[in-house]
């Protein structure tokens, strides 16, 4: 679910116009191209048409959402990226970029829009405080490709839709096999995320429902 406050924020294109980095005519042209193509982020269209660059879009995104801008090293995947199942990272196009264990604060990078319902779900599952940072879309894309090449042996994703009784049966089977000390679950959009924790191992089950 998109952030319910997003309707009250200045759109990205108008933010760039107000900063003198885009003309009203260029914005109209990009909106026409966006509608003709049937979608796509306006920031991506502005870059594609050569009206602005990713650096300016990123700065405007941080201003739009009132959050800091973080420059990622797109050649190295942050260690904390493994805190969240890969399917969720790919679905929401986000990336954990830093985790402060002392305060249990997780900094999340986004390049499109903030989803507060996702933030609350992550805080519940990880027992942490989540904070957002604007990051470049190209860096997120590169790092998600690196993440997809990793083997995540403690992550099991069911990509087909599962009925409630099937979710219960599969989850119970994993609980009996692993004998977890704690079980946490939350819903992230169309995904149900269950984390089984015991000892030093955590196993994530991710269902489409």
Q: Over the stretch 110-144, which tens digit does the pLDDT of each residue have? A: 998 899 999 999 999 999 999 999 999 999 999 99
**pLDDT tens, position by position, 50-87:** 999 999 999 999 999 999 999 998 889 999 999 999 99
Tell me whether residue 105 is in a domain: yes
Round to whole Å and give the CA distance between 165 and 27: 49
pLDDT at 8: 66
Round to whole Å and give the CA distance between 107 and 189: 20
Rounded to two decimals, the pTM is: 0.84
Tell me whether residue 71 is in a domain: no
Domain boundary among 128, 149, 170: 149
Tell me whether residue 72 is in a domain: no
Range of the domain at 165: 155-208
Domain count, the chain: 3
pLDDT at 23: 96
Tell me whether residue 74 is in a domain: no
Q: Which residues contact 202 (CB under 8 A, 6 or more apart)?
A: 154, 195, 196
């Amino acid at each position: 679910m998109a952030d319910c406050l997003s309707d009250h924020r200045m759109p990205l294109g108008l933010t760039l116009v107000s900063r003198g980095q885009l003309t009203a005519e260029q914005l109209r042209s990009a909106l026409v191209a966006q509608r003709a193509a049937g979608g796509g982020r306006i920031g991506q269209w502005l870059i594609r048409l050569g009206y602005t660059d990713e650096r300016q879009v990123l700065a405007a995104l941080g201003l739009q959402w009132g959050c800091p801008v973080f420059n990622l090293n797109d050649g190295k995947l942050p260690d904390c990226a493994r805190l969240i199942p890969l399917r969720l990272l790919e679905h929401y196009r986000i990336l954990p970029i830093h985790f402060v264990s002392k305060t249990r604060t997780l900094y999340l990078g986004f390049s499109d829009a903030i989803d507060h319902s996702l933030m609350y779900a992550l805080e519940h599952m990880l027992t942490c405080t989540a904070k957002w940072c604007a990051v470049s879309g190209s860096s997120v894309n590169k790092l998600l490709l690196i993440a997809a090449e990793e083997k995540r042996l403690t992550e099991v994703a069911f990509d087909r839709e599962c009925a409630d009784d099937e979710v219960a049966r599969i989850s119970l089977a994993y609980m009996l096999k692993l004998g977890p000390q704690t079980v946490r679950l939350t819903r992230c959009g169309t995904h149900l995320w269950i984390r089984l924790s015991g000892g030093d191992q955590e196993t994530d089950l991710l269902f489409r429902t």
